[in-house]
Structure 1
Amino acid sequence: MPKRFIGWLGLSALVIVLDQITKLAVLAHLSLGEGIPYTDFFKLVLIYNPGAAFSFLSDQNGWQKWFFVALALGISGWLVALMRQHANERLQPLAYALIVGGAIGNAIDRFHYGAVVDFLFFHIGHYGWPAFNLADSAIVAGIALMILVQLREPRKA
């Protein structure tokens, strides 16, 4: 395996480890629904999200857990193959590595807890963004980077 590919896999592993450490810390210090305010606009909370982004499909009877685990693993496998193919580039495999790390981090939660552990909550007064976690942040950063790379590439006629 090329050295750079191993490095990109290492970055994915680092995202997974950091994601799981932060979730374990929150689980050790907070009860479900409990929050610790840090600023007027941010607090740590403990929320379990059985759905996807913005609690999509969270009201289903449990089948979504396995659907999202399979989806995360399937997409991660595809992105790892792309990561290997583009290993000598910089931005594209970085994007893939972030997404893979985040997807697997959340898949671990679904497998272990039956839902994703979310804990970062930003708000203004009573209006807030849905709680999220480090894995979600890595996925969003990776997708944004993928879009940026695509916008920067010259178009072929």
Structure 2
Amino acid sequence: MAGAAAPVAEQPASVAKWFVLAVAIIVLDQLSKIYFNGSYQYGEQREVIPSLLNFTLLYNPGAAFSFLADAGGWQKFFFSGLAFAVSGWLGWQIVQRQFSCLMNLAAAFIMGGALGNVIDRLIHGHVIDFIQLHWQQSWYYPAFNIADSFICVGAALMVLDSFRQPRS
């Protein structure tokens, strides 16, 4: 039979590893935020790689790129609810063995990152960001954190997986 093979369903015991990975991401994210929130003053920048990478402490009450940061507070509940809904759906798909191994990895990354940021929103009212990429002193990418990184990598893995799956 020619063509790509369908993904093989995982054994029930191996499904738990994706949730363990998501929890490990949450722990790593929260430990990094505790460190930066306790070791830096708000707005303080420390150069790590000249003309490329700083560590800085910034707070984001909105979403990516401070979207809706000035919305008055309701966005905290909106983004938290959205993160719970997406994480719940992804977790359910893992449990139902609907995903390939690569998609499970992507889902674990997204769940861990999304829930790591939810913890910030519920405890602090904002997300703690501390990684700042820039080019010399002329261009700065908005600050982000480990949770954001896992969400982005997870999304990229989902796109990659969509190209790998056979069309029905």
In structure 2, what is the Cα distance between the partners aligned to 1:88 and 1:131? 32
Q: Which amino acid aligns with 1:6?
A: A
SS at match of 1:86: coil
Q: Give the distance between the partners of 1:126 and 1:24, measured in 2 at CA.
A: 30
Judge conservation of contact 1:4–1:88 (CA < 8 Å) in 2: no
Counterpart-to-counterpart distance in 1, 2:87 and 2:99: 19
Residues 130-145 of structure 1: pairs in structure 2 closer than 5 A? 130-145=142-157
Q: TM-score, normalised by structure 2?
A: 0.89
Counterpart-to-counterpart distance in 2, 1:88 and 1:144: 15
Partner of 2:60: 49
Q: 1:34/1:77 Cα in 2 relative to 1: closer, same or farther (>3 Å)?
A: same
Pair 1:88–1:78, CA change in 2 (3 A) = closer
How far apart in 1 are the matches of 2:99 and 2:160? 18
**Shift in Å, 1:88:** 7.7
**Stretches (4+) displaced over 3 A:** none
Kindly tell me the number of residue pairs found equivalent between the two proteins: 156
Paired with 1:65 and 1:86, the residues of 2 have a C-alpha distance of 31
Partner of 2:24: 14
The Cα of 1:56 is off from its aligned counterpart by 0.5
Conserved? CA contact 2:93–2:99, under 8 Å? no
Q: Which moved more, 1:30-39 or 1:12-21?
A: 30-39
Find the aligned partners of 2:100 and 2:127 in 1 and give their Cα distance. 32
Q: 1:68 aligns with which of 63, 79, 84?
A: 79
Match of 2:115 in 1: 104
SS of the aligned residue for 1:38 comes to: strand
- 1:24 corresponding residue in structure 2: 34
Moved more, 124-133 or 103-112: 124-133
CA contact (8 A) 2:117 2:147 kept: yes
**Could you list the runs of 5+ residues in structure 2 that have no partner in the other structure?**
1-10
Match of 1:90 in 2: 101
Give secondary structure in 2 for the equivalent of 1:117.
strand
Once residues 83 and 34 of structure 1 are traced to their aligned partners in structure 2, the CA distance between those partners, rounded to angstroms, is 40
2:138 and 2:147 mapped to 1: Cα distance? 25
CA offsets, 1:111-155, max 9 Å, x none? 011000000000012311100000000000111000000011122
TM-score normalized by the length of structure 1: 0.95
